[in-house]
Amino acid sequence: MLKRLEIVGFKSFAKKTVLDFSNSTTAIVGPNGSGKSNVAEAFRFALGEQSMRSMRGKRAEDLIWGGSHTVPRSNRASVVIIFDNSRRQFKIDFDEVAIERVAFRDGTSEYSINGSRVRLRDINELLASANIGETGHHIISQGEADRILLANARERRSMLEDALGLKVYEFKKQEASRKLEKTEENIGQVNSLRRELAPHLRFLENQVKKLERADELRRELISLSQTYFAIEDTFLSQEKKRAAESKQNAKERLAVATSELATIEERATTDEEGSKRLSLVRKAEHDVERITGERSELSRKLGRVEGGLAAAKDRSERVAREPYAKVPRQDLTELAREVAKQAEEAVTPDTIYAALAAINKAVKAFVGRFTAPGDDLLADEERAAYALENERTELVAKDKLFSEELEKVKSALSRAREALTAHDETGRELRRRILDLAQAKAHEESEVAKSDAREHELTMLSEALERDKAEALALGGASAVSYTPLSQLPSEERRAQEDRKRVLERTKIRLEEAGGTGEEIRHEHKEVSEREVFLAKELDDLAKSAAGLRALIDDLDTELQKHFSDGLSKVNASFGEYFALMFGGGSARLALEEPEPEDTESLEEEMEEDMPTEKERPGIEISVNLPKKKVRSLMQLSGGERALTSIALIFAMSQVNPPPFLILDETDAALDEANSRRYGDMIENLAQKSQLIVITHNRETMSRTTILYGVTMGGDGVSKLLSVKFDEAVAVAK
């Protein structure tokens, strides 16, 4: 799987150096200080190691070739590891995977996969999928062979999980936990938005309810208006037609009576006296007709004025319904000052009486100024009503004069007719006929006058109906005046229609008090309601997402625990075998540490918290039993014993879940000859499952490898490589 390593400018490798790992076992040898351990650190560097201590440095510049007297320093260090991915051990669709890291002198690093810039997190996730974890269990550097023994229980568990290839579950769990945390933050934000939105939504709902009540009143107004207008239109139409017919009939009868009376009167008087008296009658009749016509014209004009006056008063009353009057503070101050002044001067009964009269006068004047609404609109309406009232008074006075004059003329006409009738005593029958015709004529004239008055009354009712329609249109819209006239009036008294009008007027007033259509409030309520529905749905989606993430975390925990338990059993079996092989007997095993007694107070505090905390997982303890020696603690082991135990455990973990490659940096330094042979046997066994890169001085270890890289360093301080393939060397030697 591991193909080659390319190093440029990293530590002592100033120039580009390529190591080929085409075989299962490769040894890197060389004298101390030649830079052979820098190869292992190059692997750490490329795989994302962040600890400078693990790479024997203090800062990023320590990893970059610093220069010598012959080779200038580099500005960057680059290491590329190339893997064979034909079996798709990496979750990426490439036959070859190149992981590169470049470090610069300013301390920054760049990572790339197959030439594409990526994050360190992307590198870790890709490596975890191929069982190359971040704890470095696959790279054991010089002096770190017993690192797993010296680590604490929780660190040891992390190393074991890494070796078992469980980091991919950890990555998924961490990702799910981050998403869950973000989701819970979003839930909190959405809940906060809903809490902020709730009071405004309640206010808008109350406003909409008021508007709905106004809509009910508007619908009621429309229904009442349609019924009232349909009946009133039909009533006025029929009454106008009836009045016109009555007037026309009366005029026709009056014309007949007038013509017949004129003929008889002309025939009855042929002498001069009769002609004179007849002339007086004609003159009186002409005066009656003239005054009657003028009075009719005056009556029509008076009707129009009274209609306008009624409309002006109606408008004034509407304006006057405003319950409050605006009184300037200065006027109130002046009134108070006036009352105080009068009170101070009142010391005797006479002055008290005078002061009371003055105060009463001042208060009446003040109230008179402000009891009526003081706005310009009401003032205009009152001025208009006042002008119409004056005009109506003048017209009534003229009508009274016309009435008096008409009575005088009628009296003169009656006297003239009586004189004319008395003149011809012999024509008594003719005179009786004249009298009957005169009475008939007077009756028809009265009928015409009644018809005129009725027409005037109907005209005023029509004007009032049009005003009612205009108000209904303004309050209820076009529907209020959209109705079908009736073909026949309902069988009821006129009082029923008057009752309908009173109900209609009360409904108008209630609707005016309820307000307008409120389209802006309705639109805002719709937007806020839709926002609330959206937030509720989003909250539901977030809750479902959080529940799914919690379930995923539980599933990952279950899966992680299952794989960990199985892996721990397998590692223990292999660990015991390797330990017995290394020490010629004895036993060793890994065990979960005993949980500490739970603190009751801490448990109660946790239960009071909103979010439960993740329970700490137990760490890993190592127990060993050396042959012919009682050892109770790992710290009681000698350096060699710790090295052998570490090697046994590392090899055991590698056997259970073999990593793609394993780097052993002088882990055999403390072994004697016998243990070196055992170490070599284990290397050969392990090489069947993982590629091995062994940095060593041990000849026994070198003999078990197929490729040997020798690292040398000249006077320029640059590490160089020499390679030997043992198969080819043996063939040449023969």
The full DSSP string for 138-205 is TEE-TT-TTHHHHS-HHHHHHHHHHHTT-HHHHHHHHHHHHHHHHHHHHHHHHHHHHHHHHHHHHHHH
For the segment 549-583, what is each residue's pLDDT rounded down to a tens digit? 888 888 888 888 888 888 888 888 888 888 888 78
The three-class DSSP label of residue 339 is helix
Q: At what angle do helices 428-476 and 272-320 cross, to 10 degrees?
A: 20
Is 60 exceeded by the pLDDT of residue 93? yes
Residue 423 is predicted with a pLDDT of 64
Give 608's pLDDT tier (boundaries 50, 70, 90): very low
Give 730's pLDDT tier (boundaries 50, 70, 90): low
Domain at 1-132+706-734: CATH architecture: 3-Layer(aba) Sandwich (3.40)
Domains of the chain, residue spans? 1-132+706-734, 270-321+375-423, 326-371
What DSSP line would sit under 442-488, residue for residue? HHHHHHHHHHHHHHHHHHHHHHHHHHHHHHHHHHH-GGGG-----SS
The three-class DSSP label of residue 82 is strand
pTM for this predicted structure:
0.48
Residue 357 is predicted with a pLDDT of 74
For the segment 25-83, what is each residue's pLDDT rounded down to a tens digit? 899 998 888 888 888 889 989 988 888 877 878 888 889 998 888 899 999 999 999 99
Q: Residue 583: CB partners within 8 Å, gap ≥ 6?
A: 626, 627, 641, 644
Q: At what angle do helices 639-656 and 673-687 cross, to 10 degrees?
A: 10
Q: Give CA–CA dist 587/280, Å, rounded.
A: 161
For the segment 431-447, what is each residue's pLDDT rounded down to a tens digit? 677 788 888 888 888 88
Beta bridge partners of 76: 104
- Is residue 43 within 8 Å of residue 722, measured between CB atoms? no
Q: Give CA–CA dist 456/300, Å, rounded.
A: 7
3-state helix, strand and coil shares in percent for the chain, rounded to the nearest 5: 65, 10, 25
Share above pLDDT 70 across residues of the chain, in percent, rounded to a whole number: 84
Which ranges in 87-130 belong to alpha helices (H)? 120-128
Average pLDDT over residues 655-671: 79
Average pLDDT over residues 267-284: 69
148 burial via Cβ count (<10 Å: 0-12, 13-18, 19+): buried
Give 268's pLDDT tier (boundaries 50, 70, 90): low
Is 60 exceeded by the pLDDT of residue 717? yes
What DSSP line would sit under 259-301, residue for residue? HHHHHHHHHH--SHHHHHHHHHHHHHHHHHHHHHHHHHHHHHH
Counting every residue, how long is the chain?
734
Number of H helices, E strands in the chain: 17, 14
Q: Give CA–CA dist 663/683, Å, rounded.
A: 11
- What's 270-321+375-423's CATH class? mainly alpha
Average pLDDT over residues 481-507: 83
What spatial distance separates the first Cα and last Cα of the chain, rounded to whole Å? 32
Same topology, domains 1-132+706-734 and 270-321+375-423? Answer is: no
Pairing of strands 707-713, 25-29: parallel
Q: Give CA–CA dist 588/14, Å, rounded.
A: 45
- Is residue 204 within 8 Å of residue 577, measured between CB atoms? no
What's the token pair of residue 392? 């109506």
Strand order in the sheet with 707-713: 139-140, 661-665, 691-695, 25-29, 707-713, 719-725
For the segment 196-249, what is each residue's pLDDT rounded down to a tens digit? 888 877 877 777 777 667 767 777 778 888 888 888 888 888 888 888 888 888
Q: Give CA–CA dist 111/89, Å, rounded.
A: 20
For the segment 613-636, what is each residue's pLDDT rounded down to a tens digit? 445 678 888 888 888 777 666 777
Residue 273 is predicted with a pLDDT of 63
Query: What are residue 588's phi and psi, to 5 degrees?
Result: -155, 145
**Who has greater pLDDT, 649 or 640?**
649
Is 60 exceeded by the pLDDT of residue 597? no
The three-class DSSP label of residue 624 is strand
